[in-house]
Amino acid sequence: MIDLDFVRRQFPAFATPSLREHSFFENAGGSYMCQHVIDRFNRYFEQRKVQPYYAFEASKIAGTEIDLAPTRFARYLNVDANEVLFGPSTSQNTYVLARACLERLVQGDAIIVSAQEHEANSGVWRKLADYGIDIRIWSIDPSDGRLQLSDFLSLLDNKVRLVVVTHCSNLVGEINPVRQIADATHDAGALLLVDGVSYCPHGFPDIDALGADIYLFSTYKTYGPHQGVMVIRNVARHLFAPQSHFFNHENSMKWMVPAGPDHAQMAAANGVIDYFDALDKHHGGRDDSERPRRVAALFKSAETPHIKTLLEYIETRDDVHLIGPSDPTLRTATISFVMPDMAARSISQKLAEKGIMAGAGHYYAFRLFSKMGLDPEAGALRISFVHYTSASDITKLIGALEEIL
């Protein structure tokens, strides 16, 4: 069982007067930042805010701290350090990847894009149709927004070069069967790009076991600074033309980051791993090799009971339309719903008045809303939580919903 008191002590937000009396349910838009990251930021700006990699001491230390981030993240993701890159955001990283991919494609090549995607991982690929690329859309079930594997398999053939799918939609919340998708993709001779932004706050995946060739996520949703992480496996590099200065084409940290990484953000990202390590050690973890899986298991053990409780409550409401599966074992702690007779923004406003922070909108899943026959402008109420959410937060939320709905 996770030690919630220990966890919350690592996040200054829980001691901040303007936040500590509120329950935070908009983690899918960005998590609280842990103290380890804040400490790394402060130290870098106070002691190391110089151009890195020169001979003087502050510069050498700065460079060492920057270089450490890919290695430490790689250990948690089970990939090689030279496969991990940091860019400004996942939205910008996907834009760069799409442009890089275009340089290596020819007219008639095909890309499959799921209809569940955040617009940042949809529009950039759809735009390639303007250049003669065959963009095939993996449709969703309009009743609940879910993807069916059989629909995907019907789109695969030897013209497909890339498959683009989310690990977990920021609206639907279902964990997609990435390993099965990867196997089918590779059997067809294509590569798989997975958007893990909505999945990674709930535990970093073993990317090697997952089978993804490109995996993307954002550290500002995993308790860290505003950065986007790109994992580009070495076997996938051939599909992307370098986007850096020509003399950085062989630099593993820069070849797909046009302006180069943000030094301070990258150094501070080490604080995410500091936190994960400290969390595991506090809960009795000793050997490093299994630490990433133990941390992911801790997150799951903390979140699963709350997912179950909230879904059970929603099932009692005939006036609530749940988006995504009702089975708690199939989804992450991102639960969205709509009500025919009450606007999501109105519910969000009333929750805010009761000390509950929750989002309302389309969450950049505009196309997905439309495919489900829902009004993107009306949006949905999204309840998203992580391992630091308490049982009392869930009780408070359900009590407030009972009064409002």
What burial letters (b/e) apply to 212-238, b meaning 16+ CB within 10 Å? bbbbbbbbbbbbbbbbbbbbbbeebbe
Question: Same domain, yes or no, for 86 and 159?
Answer: yes
Are residues 140 and 91 part of one domain?
A: yes
- Range 4-11 average pLDDT: 98
At 101 the three-state DSSP class reads: helix
Can you give the residue range of the structural domain that contains 264? Answer: 41-273
With a CB cutoff of 8 Å and minimum separation 6, the contacts of 312 are: none
Asked if pLDDT for residue 389 goes beyond 90, the answer is yes
Q: Has residue 289 got a pLDDT over 90? A: no
pLDDT per residue as tens digits for the range 351-375: 999 999 999 999 999 999 999 999 9
Same domain, 66 and 122: yes
pLDDT digits (tens, 9 = 90+) for 51-67: 999 999 999 999 999 99
Q: Given a cut of 90, is residue 288 above it in pLDDT? A: no
Co-location of 110 and 246 in the same domain: yes
In a domain, 35, yes or no: no
Yes or no: say if 334 and 382 are a contact pair by the CB < 8 Å rule. yes
Per the prediction, the chain carries an average pLDDT of 97
In the listed set 206, 241, 273, which residue is the last one of a domain according to the structure? Answer: 273
CATH number reported for the structural domain that contains residue 214 in this entry: 3.40.640.10
The whole-angstrom separation of Cα 353 and Cα 114 is 37
Whether 127 shows a pLDDT value over 90: the answer reads: yes
pTM greater than the 0.95 cutoff:
yes
Q: Mean pLDDT over residues 214-231, rounded?
A: 98
pLDDT at 213: 98
Under a CB-based contact definition with an 8 Å cutoff, are residues 86 and 265 in contact?
Answer: yes
Same domain, residue pair 153 and 197: yes
Q: Based on the fold, state whether residues 59 and 192 are members of the same structural domain.
A: yes
Q: Are residues 89 and 191 in the same domain?
A: yes
Alpha-carbon radius of gyration of the chain:
21
Question: Do residues 16 and 48 both lie within one domain?
Answer: no
Residue 287 domain-assigned? Answer: no
pLDDT > 90? residue 287: no
State what percent of residues in the chain have pLDDT above 70. Answer: 100
Residue 387 belongs to a domain = yes
- Residue 175 is given by DSSP the state B
Helix (H, G, I), strand (E, B) or coil at 378: coil
Going by C-alpha positions, the residue among 256, 262, 280 that lies closest to residue 204 is 280
Residue given tokens 């069982």 in the structure block:
1
Q: Which of 246, 273, 300 is the last residue of a domain?
A: 273
Structure tokens at 370: 């439309």
- Cα–Cα separations (whole angstroms), residue 323 to 118, 145, 327, 369, 383: 15, 7, 12, 10, 11
Q: What is the pLDDT of residue 214?
A: 98
Whether 284 maps to a domain, the answer reads no
Closest among 293, 335, 331, 285 to 310, alpha carbons compared: 335
How far apart CA 138 and CA 165 sit, in angstroms, is: 9
- Residue carrying structure tokens 């594997």: 149
User: In this predicted model, what pLDDT tens digit does every residue of 14-51 receive, in sequence order?
Assistant: 999 999 999 999 999 999 999 999 999 999 999 999 99
* pLDDT exceeds cutoff 90 at 340: no
pLDDT band at 349 (very low <50, low <70, confident <90, very high): very high
Cα separation, 185 vs 208, in Å, equals: 15
Query: Is the backbone of residue 126 left (phi > 0), alpha (psi -120 to 50) or beta?
Result: alpha
Same domain, 243 and 301: no
Instruction: Specify whether 346 is located in the same domain as 219.
Output: no
The b-or-e profile of 357-374 (16+ CB within 10 A means b, else e) is: ebbbbbbbbbbbbebbeb
Domain boundary among 273, 302, 320: 273
Task: Assess whether 267 and 314 both reside in one domain.
Answer: no
pLDDT tens digit sequence for 248-267: 999 999 999 999 999 999 99
pLDDT tops 90 at residue 286? no
Give the residue-averaged pLDDT of 147-159. 97
Specify if 357 maps to a domain: yes
For the chain, how far is it from start to end, CA to CA, in angstroms?
33
Whether 268 and 302 map to the same domain: the answer is no
Count the Cβ atoms, other than its own, within 10 Å of residue 355: 12
Total domains present in the chain: 2
Identify whether the C-beta of residue 315 lies closer than 8 Å to the C-beta of residue 326: yes
In a domain, 278, yes or no: no
282 in a structural domain: no
CATH code for the domain in which residue 334 is found: 3.90.1150.10
In a domain? residue 279: no
